[in-house]
Amino acid sequence: MDKLKKVLSGQDAEDRGGLAEVADTSSLSWNTRIKGFIACFVAGILCSLLGTFLLWVPRKGLYLFAVFYTFGNIASIGSTVFLMGPMKQLKRMVEPTRLIATIMVLLCFTLTLCSAFWWHNKGLALIFCILQSLALTWYSLSYIPFARDAVKKCFSACLE
């Protein structure tokens, strides 16, 4: 009976799969989670800033910009994994309220890198970086209750 309770409560140490190991990564202490979040978020911001400065390097600037800016934004999004855990983060990313925003963010990441490496178009890369920032902002607002509604009302009031 005790064995059954352990298995049903998830405390069975035997036969641990990869999913159980991923779940354990979210069992960090709150202090460690905050430190991980801050470190990853600051690294993301620094990468994005470095990418912006590298844009003006002759010849290779566009490539460096696209890579550093995109990876900086990925690190910034990834920093929230420390707060929520990886599985909860993935589940929240595909919730109906933020699914479109998640798709737009991932699409902008991909198109930024494609415009730099395959299409060699600086203007397009800059446009996708701007769209990347807008998509990330919209995605981030989805975690704040009523923030999207407030932004919509603000823009509708400004456009009237």
Residues near 26 by beta carbon (within 8 Å), at least 6 away in sequence: 84, 85, 86, 87, 88
Query: What's the confidence (pLDDT) of residue 160?
Result: 86
Q: Give the residue from 160, 115, 114, 105 showing the smallest Cα distance to 138.
A: 105
Query: What's the confidence (pLDDT) of residue 19?
Result: 45
Query: pLDDT, tens digit, for every residue of 77-90?
Result: 999 899 888 999 99
Could you tell me which residue, 47 or 120, shows the higher pLDDT? 47
Mean pLDDT on 40-47: 95
Write down the pTM of the prediction.
Answer: 0.75
Domain boundaries, the chain: 28-159
